[in-house]
Each structure stands twice: as C-alpha cells, then as structure tokens.
Amino acid sequence: GNERKSCCLIAMMNRLPTNLLRLPARTLSQSSTRQMLVNARGPANHSISPSVVGGRSFIHTSPPARMGILSDAKNFIVGLTVRAEASHILVKGTDSEAEEKIRSIVEEVGNDPTKFAEAAKQHSECPSGGQGGSLGEFGRYSMVPEFDAVVFDDDTEMGMIYGPIKTDFGYHAILVTRRSDRL
C-alpha cells in the first residue's frame, strides 16, 4: 500500500540529482532523511531546512535551490521514459594497470555477448559479475555521467562492447543490449 509507494518514491528519488522542494519527512527513516539532505545540498547558496507545519514534517529549500527543480523534474521524466539494459565489467582502480586489464578483456571478448558474460563472471569486481555483468533495466541519469554518456549516446550501437570507460569506480567495459526511444 502506502508504505510500498513511499519506498518506491524514495528509491526513485535517490537515483536523481536531488533538489527537494517539499518532501514529507515522516515517510523517511532518520538515516534516509540525513542522506537525502546531504544529496540535496547543492552549491553554497542553496539552503535546506526541516520544518513542521500543521503537524506534518517537511524539508524546505531556499529559492535558489528551487530553480533546479525544473531540471530535476525533466531528468526524472526522462529517466522514466528513456530506458536501457546493459551489462558491464568493472575493474576497480584508476591507474594504468586497471585500464590495461579492461582493455585486454575488451580485446579478448571482441563483440561476443557470450564471451562478455563469461569474462564478467571471471573478472568483474562488481556484484553484477555473477549475473554476467547484467545491470538489468535502468533509466537515463541513474548511473554516473561517464557510464550514461556511453549507454544513452545516439552513436552507441546495440550489441557492441565499449571500453575502457573511466569512472570514479574504476574502468568499465560496457555492453548495451537494449535502449528505448528518445523523447
């Protein structure tokens, strides 16, 4: 019922670059609320304060923070409508050794999805490796920007393997298997 809807809303919001206008704080646990406040805290001119109005708790943002709401709303809608399925192999680290390892994996598997899944099980340092690197379906803006840039680029071909792609997590090889139409 309502608890499930709240959990779904919280999960969706945690995937967004979040600037909160009003969020019923009573639907969140203390740690979730704290994390949302940390995530929502943008540039220094943005301020966030909890308040109670008529017995209901809300989190308010200052007017400068509200200007980002339209952008966040657009990202939220795009994330719901522009979807993809992809798999990846992650080698943690940002040094040349990690880059070279992912480069050799990409070379070894070519564009063979079966070899890619086997390599993910063997080499990936992400829990998804156990599922052949499958990340399932996700929306645009759900992943780190460098990952999204590959998955949702118009020039990215389905079934092709891309890499090495550097993110804060390390180096990735990415296989995009499906993508919905653009808005």
Question: Are 94 and 172 part of one and the same domain?
Answer: yes
Whether residue 128 is predicted with pLDDT greater than 80 in this model: the reply is yes
Domain end position, chosen among 60, 78, 96 = 78
Question: Are 56 and 33 part of one and the same domain?
Answer: yes
Domain end position, chosen among 78, 99, 125 = 78
Question: Are 99 and 158 part of one and the same domain?
Answer: yes
Question: Are 114 and 42 part of one and the same domain?
Answer: no
Query: Rounded to an integer, what distance in angstroms lies between the CA atom of residue 146 and that of residue 41?
Result: 22
Query: Rounded to an integer, what distance in angstroms lies between the CA atom of residue 137 and that of residue 83?
Result: 7
Question: Are 158 and 92 part of one and the same domain?
Answer: yes
- pLDDT tens per residue, range 45-92: 444 444 445 555 454 445 555 456 556 655 555 556 789 999 999 999
- Closest Cα to residue 116, out of 99, 131, 94, 96? 131
| 22 confidence band (pLDDT: 50, 70, 90) | very low
Question: Are 69 and 87 part of one and the same domain?
Answer: no
Q: What is the pLDDT of residue 68?
A: 61
Q: How many domains is the chain partitioned into structurally? A: 2
Q: What is the CATH number of the domain that holds 124?
A: 3.10.50.40
Whether residue 180 is predicted with pLDDT greater than 90 in this model: the reply is no
Q: Does residue 14 or residue 133 have the better pLDDT?
A: 133
Question: Are 92 and 46 part of one and the same domain?
Answer: no
Strands 48-53 and 56-61: antiparallel
Average pLDDT over residues 92-103: 96
Question: Are 112 and 148 part of one and the same domain?
Answer: yes
Question: Are 20 and 67 part of one and the same domain?
Answer: yes
Q: What is the pLDDT of residue 24?
A: 43
Q: What is the pLDDT of residue 124?
A: 98
Helix pair angle (96-109, 113-123), 10° resolution: 150
Long-range CB pairs of 96-102 (<8 Å, 24+ gap) are 98/170, 98/171, 99/164, 99/166, 99/171, 101/171, 102/163, 102/164, 102/171, 102/172, 102/173
Question: Are 91 and 108 part of one and the same domain?
Answer: yes
Q: Which amino acid is at 7?
A: C
Question: Are 98 and 142 part of one and the same domain?
Answer: yes
- Domain, as residue range, for 54: 2-78
Tell me the backbone φ, ψ of residue 2, rounded to 5 degrees. -65, -35
Question: Are 103 and 47 part of one and the same domain?
Answer: no
Token representation of residue 90: 């992650």
Q: Does residue 44 or residue 101 have the better pLDDT?
A: 101
Token representation of residue 33: 């609320």
Q: What is the pLDDT of residue 1?
A: 45
Q: How far is CA 115 from CA 89, 92, 140, in A?
A: 12, 20, 27
- Closest Cα to residue 111, out of 171, 155, 176? 176
Domain end position, chosen among 49, 78, 107 = 78
